[in-house]
Amino acid sequence: MTGADRQQVNTLPEEPFIVSPYQETDNPAESDNSRRPILWLFILLTVMALIGFSISAWQLWVDAKRDARDKLGYVNRQLVQGTRATFIKHETVLRIVGEELVRSGALENPEQGRDIIEDMQRTDPGMVGFGLAAPNGQLLIVSGVPEGKSLPNLMEQEVSVDSFHQALNSDGLVAGRPYFMPLLDDWVIPIRTTIKDANSEPVAVMTAGYQITGGTTAWGGLELPEEVGVGMIRSDGYLQYAHFIQNEAISRQHLDEIYSSPSVSYIIEALEKNKAQEGFIALEKGFSADDLLLAYEYLPDYNLYAITALPQARIVKEFLHKLAPWIALMSIYLALGFIGYRSALTTQRKNENQLAYLAHHDSLTDLPNRTLMRDRLEQALKIAHREHEHVALLFIDLDRFKEINDQHGHAHGDALLQVIAPRLQQAVRPSDTVARLGGDEFLIILPDIHNGSSLEKLLMRIREQLVQPITLNQIEHRISASIGVAIYPDDAENADELLRYGDIALFEAKDRGRDCHAYYDSQLNERAQRRSALREALERALSERALYVHYQPQLSAKASEVECVEALVRWESDKFGAVSPEEFIPLAEESGLINELGEFVLNQALADVQELNRRCETDIRLSVNISAQQMLDSKIVSKIREALDAANFSPEALTLELTETVLIQEFDRIASELRTLRDMGIDIAIDDFGTGYSSLSYLNRLPISELKIDRSFVRDIDQNKYNRKLIASIIALGKGHEVRLVAEGVETSSQAILLRELGCHLLQGFHFARPMSIDKLIDFVGYGDHSDV
């Protein structure tokens, strides 16, 4: 293929230039008369522009102050949320470790707790160390300090005596003033919590310290806008932390002065006046370099003020920066007005060209749209046919993009697409075409493909471009994509077939998992046809009530009695035979049938378990899975209430299971629905607990009444010491929050024995029973004695 041909594929031919029909008149008087209206119009527009400029300047100033407040408020909320989460996490860790040390006999023989305290030291590299102290302040054991080495008394040290007293008199976590630790050559914050006996009397104080800038602190990974500083100020006026002073160029002596002296008095006075609220304070000394805008919030649980500061001068600078173009525009306005009428025809011409451009390009990414893509594909295929070349067509679908849209909003998703579009263009050749089809779908036309290796290199470049991190609004994204590949003339001989086969290959890539590509072959077409047929069969099966529900018992770990059953949907198709839930449930989600399927399972299960309890004279509970789409249904609460009423089923006997991925989408809305359901008496369970990145936070933010320990942790609990410790920690955490603990995937007696010993409440798995029909479940429950399993 020649260079001219390649250029033709990737550019639209320009239309011929049209000469303007307007001509200047030869009569000067007529010329003046024709220009006078434009002059008056120019004067009028100038006056209007000055008025508009003044209004715009005022609005820019208002916007600059509002943007600064929004920026500070957002960062301060992040700081507050992160601080609370960090302290809650550390309090939980200290309390669990402290209670375990007391149980191990470390108060009488400190070295009996050596393994426990050293193991915890390794979990967070930001932690300086853990220590256990008696109520009189004497340290008994400290991580990293060998047996026999003298340990100080915290009641006798100036840097620790105040916070130790506070810890003894507090039920929560106490953070002491920062101090310099020579061993680490860095500043650390001491944290302490009291361990009490059954009579609420202090028996020990668990203490630890962590680096101000390290580990998993609230501010360790905080990304701040330019010139924005954050800090935590104690109620006694001392700094707990200040981001803007963590600078290697600052001497230790200067840091000593900063952390050892109360903060600036006028800041403390301003904060004390607003202690019961959150908001903003403008600290002004009359055009001083020290003028600040502060966002603040008081944390009463820890007697701390969270503050985020921005110099007022920065706001003025931003305002002037935004105002400068307006000043420049006003400066050149007269010149532009003079030549405006002469450029009218040219402007009109440009507008027409722009409209033509917009008709063929995506308005968000500026990439060719579907119309222009189709035209270039047809041209590429014609050239390939003439030159006996190959053309590759790539369908690209971004992984998890819908989750990003749901979690951060469509504007955030649009901004992400605007970053991805040029990356795709950089990954391909100048002769290639990158188009956006809509949503998160892109298409790339690759003409003149000589061999498979060159295509693989292009695919690798595309994936390398996409995997580079993208940061938007202080949120980092790592994007991957599923890619479907179809090749002319190997797979198809015309554009329609090539597009259809590329789409089929894309579905195959998505089925294989994220961040991969798939080439079209005839078997994919067969699988696509199977998916289509399965979708139709599933829709028909739902309308004909051809699906059915099986139940897997959950047995009491202590009494080996059936306390609950989990409802599991099954499908035996006349055409396809037994279809796995792993195949038809995702299909139901994709095709919008999941809500109908979920309602069927809930109604059937409620009726079955009601009949089970009536016939067996039992009070067995029912556990039903709820999908993300069901939870996003605005009528979910009313539908569940109606189903309970129809079956005359007690809400207190129903548990709804949600996976952690459900909670990622529209968290606040789903949390509100869950609280309503919990108020009705329905239990809420987190399925596969421990596999998500935010499992711990759900316990504090949601009305959780049950945790299901993921089967991946149970599978080798009798062989894997780490998994055993992890499950023990989850059980301790669950008991601390007074929630029920269920272990799923129990397949051996040794697993069951270990889970009983660790204190798990309910056990579920093939070791006890496989999922079964309601009739078999009635027989199983009626048998009564399950102690042999």
Average pLDDT over residues 15-34: 38
Asked whether residue 279 falls in the same domain as residue 157, the answer is: yes
Residue range 571-598, pLDDT digits in tens: 998 888 898 888 888 888 877 888 999 9
Residue 756 lies in a domain: yes
DSSP character string of 396-410: EEETTHHHHHHHH-H
The answer to whether position 713 is within a domain reads: yes
224 and 136 fall within a common domain: yes
Residue 24 belongs to a domain: no
In a domain, 398, yes or no: yes
Q: What is the pLDDT of residue 284?
A: 60
Q: Which residue has the higher pLDDT, 335 or 732?
A: 732
Query: Which tens digit of pLDDT belongs to each residue from 291-325?
Result: 778 888 888 888 888 888 888 888 888 888 888 88
Q: Region 489-499: what's the mean pLDDT? A: 91
Would you say residue 784 has pLDDT above 80?
no
pLDDT tens digits, residue range 618-648? Answer: 999 999 999 888 888 889 999 999 999 999 9
Mean pLDDT of 38-53: 74
Q: What is the pLDDT of residue 648?
A: 95
- Provide the domain limits for residue 552: 548-783
Same domain, 141 and 288: yes
Q: Is the pLDDT of residue 483 over 90?
A: yes
Q: Is residue 200 part of a domain?
A: yes
Could you say which of 473, 499, 519 is where a domain stops? 519
Specify whether the CB–CB gap between 113 and 141 falls below 8 A.
yes
- Answer whether residue 16 is part of any domain: no
pLDDT of residue 126: 66
Q: Is the pLDDT of residue 614 over 90?
A: yes
Query: Domain check: are 572 and 511 in the same one?
Result: no
d(CA 98, CA 100): 5
CB contact set of 516 (below 8 Å; sequence gap of 6+): 482, 483, 509
Q: What is the pLDDT of residues 246-290, one digit of tens each?
A: 444 455 566 667 777 776 666 777 777 766 667 777 666 544 556
614 C-beta neighbours (distance < 10 Å), count: 9
Q: Are residues 470 and 606 in the same domain?
A: no
Q: What is the mean pLDDT of the chain?
A: 82
Whose tokens are 């010491």? That residue is 721
Is 681's pLDDT higher than 90?
A: yes
**pLDDT digits 0-9 by tens, 113-167:** 888 888 887 776 667 788 899 999 899 998 888 888 888 898 988 878 888 888 8
Q: Is 404 contained in some domain?
A: yes
pLDDT tens, residue by residue, 199-209: 888 999 999 88
Is residue 764 in a domain? yes
Look up the CATH number of the domain holding residue 80: 3.30.450.20
Kindly state whether residues 508 and 565 are assigned to the same domain.
Answer: no
pLDDT confidence tier of residue 697, bands split at 50, 70 and 90: low
pLDDT of 569 over the 90 cut: yes
Name the domain boundary from 257, 292, 314: 314
- Please determine, for residue 18, whether its predicted confidence score (pLDDT) is greater than 60: no
How many domains is the chain partitioned into structurally? 3
Which CATH number goes with the domain that contains 446? Answer: 3.30.70.270
* Residue 513: closest CA among 535, 544, 482, 474: 482
pLDDT attached to residue 597: 93
Considering the domain architecture, whether residues 591 and 688 belong to the same structural domain is answered as yes
Average pLDDT over residues 396-405: 85
Q: pLDDT band for 19, please (50, 70, 90 cuts).
A: very low
pLDDT value of residue 343: 66
CATH number of the domain where residue 604 is located: 3.20.20.450
What is the three-state SS of 37-87?
Answer: HHHHHHHHHHHHHHHHHHHHHHHHHHHHHHHHHHHHHHHHHHHHHHHHHHH
Per cent of the chain over pLDDT 90 is 31
Same domain? 238 vs 193: yes
Q: Choose the final residue of a domain: 519, 537, 563.
A: 519
Domain co-membership, 501 together with 570: no
pLDDT, position 720:
81
Whether residue 761 is predicted with pLDDT greater than 90 in this model: the reply is yes
Residues 490, 601, single domain; the answer is no
Q: Are residues 698 and 761 in the same domain?
A: yes
- How high is the pLDDT of residue 496? 93
* Whole-structure pTM value: 0.46
- Asked if pLDDT for residue 765 goes beyond 60, the answer is yes
Structure confidence at residue 264 (pLDDT)? 60
Q: What are phi and psi of 423, to 5 degrees?
A: -65, -40
Least confident piece of the model among 62-71, 326-335, 420-429, 468-477: 326-335
Answer yes or no: is pLDDT of 239 > 60.
yes
pLDDT at 695 over 60: no
Cβ burial 34-52 (10 Å sphere, 16+ → b, else e): eeeeeeeebeeeeeebeee
Q: Which residue has the tokens 């916007």?
A: 63
Q: How far apart are CA 578 and CA 597, in angstroms?
A: 17
